Structure 1
Amino acid sequence: MERRTLVWLGFGGGIAALAGWLGTVAGSTGVDHGDGSDEPRHGSDEAGIPNSESDEPFDHITIGDADAADDSGGTKVYLWNAGDDEREIELQVTRDSETVVEREDTVPSDAYLLLTLLEPGTYETVVSADGARSETTLDHSENDCGRTVIALQESGLRTSVSNTC
């Protein structure tokens, strides 16, 4: 076998091995919980609603006039306690730099607070719990149907944003 052929075969094999390894890393979507399970512990259903035992939020805050809103139902923000213990939270929501919600609350275990944003604008949501902080900026316009889930977990806060149109 010629030296050039051997070098090219080695190079090609190395590239193939690297591509296979990268494909494995890119295809990995699970979270390692340290118990051998890659399945998410707490997630959302197909509609983006938290997988809570409760079908209804423990509290619902609507920002804007429901009678003047469009048919989209507004942008939804779920603040979900995905842990086993109740949690003390601080919540602040501003629209176009004006504070529209500022409160402290106790979120029961596996329960969620629902915010519905009806008025168009740029919203900044700040949630603090157990020393962790989540800041999320959302642009809401007419006929917008976004959904944000902020999960309060043992390891901190996790935010996911999706579109439900």
Structure 2
Amino acid sequence: PKDLSGKRITVLDNAPETAHIATRIGMTPVASGIRNALQKFNNRAVDVTGAPALAYEPMEIYKGLAPNGGIINWPKLQITMQLILRWKKVPEGFGQKSRDLMTNKYPAQIKKIVESEQTILKNYWINISQETKDKWNEFFRKSRIALREEGVYNRKALTLFRKIRCKMDASLAECTSKDKE
């Protein structure tokens, strides 16, 4: 994280946690929307942004990467979407049908992601050490705890997410930390 101090980074207008994390690192948060974050990166208005591999070709991210940029080869950014509706206005079983639909589409979506990653030139990929990943994980953990204490993150949701991460990888330091989420 200390290597990013002084850099400008896009932070989504509706995600206050990204500005909090950027500020903790010493970065300059630049408020952005999903539509213009990559434009700011390509136009050099910011030094760092986050994006899925699916955006590489259509958003021409290679323009912002040239001549000496790179993509950290470690997925740590997650964008989610919630569907909020009035249950009385939707047919019976809508929730389960939606979950089934998304489950059935999952393999095809993963295939698209892998295919998109394969279009990215190999010289743009930056591999980082396990030690660096561990430092980042600890930084993110402390940030989540701070955001929980500020009321930005929900305590129960953080506990659930930690349990999922630890089920996927029990070797993570957060799985045995005394100040668990």
Judge same fold: TM > 0.5, yes or no.
no
Choose between structure 1 and 2 for higher RCO, CA contacts under 8 A separated by at least 6 residues. 1
> Could you state the TM-score of these two structures normalised by the residue count of structure 2?
0.24
Larger strand percent? 1
Larger helix percent? 2
